[in-house]
Amino acid sequence: MFCFVVAWFLVLLVTWNVWTALRDAAMLTQKMHQIPCSNCRFFTSNYQLKCTVHPSNALTEEAINCPDFDPHRSIYK
């Protein structure tokens, strides 16, 4: 009887951990989709200089409310 209870406890614990991980991943994904950098004119797509205006904030959560965001893609890319 003890092994039965321990086995079900482990199954529930693993299920809870998987559920928590999936929930956290979904929340992180939603937050990352709010980052507007890839649609900004100042985004360069270069791994060395991602943004010409705010290079340290590009593609991070700090860029979500970027005051210099320009939604018009550059025609030179």
What is the pTM for the complete model shown? 0.63
- Per DSSP, what are the bridge partners of residue 43? 51
pLDDT of residue 73: 61
pLDDT of residue 16: 98
pLDDT of residue 68: 85
Q: Using DSSP, state whether 34 is helix, strand or coil.
A: coil
Per-residue pLDDT of the chain (77 residues; tens, 9 = 90+): 989 999 999 999 999 999 999 999 999 999 999 998 888 888 888 888 888 898 988 899 999 988 888 887 654 54
pLDDT of residue 39: 85
Is the separation of the CB atoms in 28 and 62 below 8 Å?
no
Alpha helices in the chain (DSSP H): 2-32
Domain regions of the chain by residue span = 1-33, 36-77
